[in-house]
Amino acid sequence: MKEQIKPQTGFHHQTKLKPRGSVAVVARVFCEIFVHVCILYLIFIDHRLIKIH
């Protein structure tokens, strides 16, 4: 079972990269940027709150 899962997921991943590769990459990059922006935004809010208080 373990040996069969590895080539299937690899082949499935390769087939997905051809038609929807750009979409997947953009989605991943957008998600990563969104997460980083949210974290930075929360950090800036914390700094502003600390400065105000």
Task: Tell the residue number behind the tokens 């979409």, with chain if given.
Answer: 23
Residues 39, 48: Cα–Cα separation, whole Å: 14
Which are the contacts of 17, defined by CB distance < 8 A and separation ≥ 6?
24
Q: Which tokens hold the place of 33?
A: 């940027």
Give residue-wise pLDDT tens across range 3-18.
555 545 555 555 555 5
Give residue-wise pLDDT tens across range 19-48.
567 888 899 999 999 999 999 999 888 877
Q: Which long-range contacts (CB under 8 A, 24 or more apart) does 2-8 make?
A: none
Domain residue extents for the chain = 22-53
Q: Which tokens hold the place of 51?
A: 């400065």
pTM given for the model: 0.43
